[in-house]
Amino acid sequence: VPARRVGWVGEAGVPLIAADPDAPSGHEAGTATWVCPATGRRYVERDDTLSPEEAQASSTNTAEAPARNREDQP
């Protein structure tokens, strides 16, 4: 039986919640916005792919990027 996605989980390992569950207008078709309740980081879902929201990634999370890079190194 093929697996199916039942939700998204953010980098903190916490299930994401819909940022705008009652506001389908204003979004492109096939997009949704999700937010991590632990970190507040926002994600955009487009065509079944989840990506960090660009405005959030370029401003607030710049301090996080070096920490993640250090963890990725052996």
Stated pTM of the model: 0.59
pLDDT, tens digit, 9 for 90 and up, residues 37-52 = 999 999 999 888 999 9
d(Cα 25, Cα 52) in Å, to the nearest integer?
A: 21
Which H/E stretch holds residue 72? helix 64-72
| CA-based torsion, 38, 39, 40, 42: positive or negative | negative
pLDDT, tens digit, 9 for 90 and up, residues 10-23 = 999 999 999 877 65
Q: How confident is the model at residue 9 (pLDDT cuts 50, 70, 90)?
A: very high
Which backbone phi and psi does 39 adopt, to 5 degrees? -110, -20
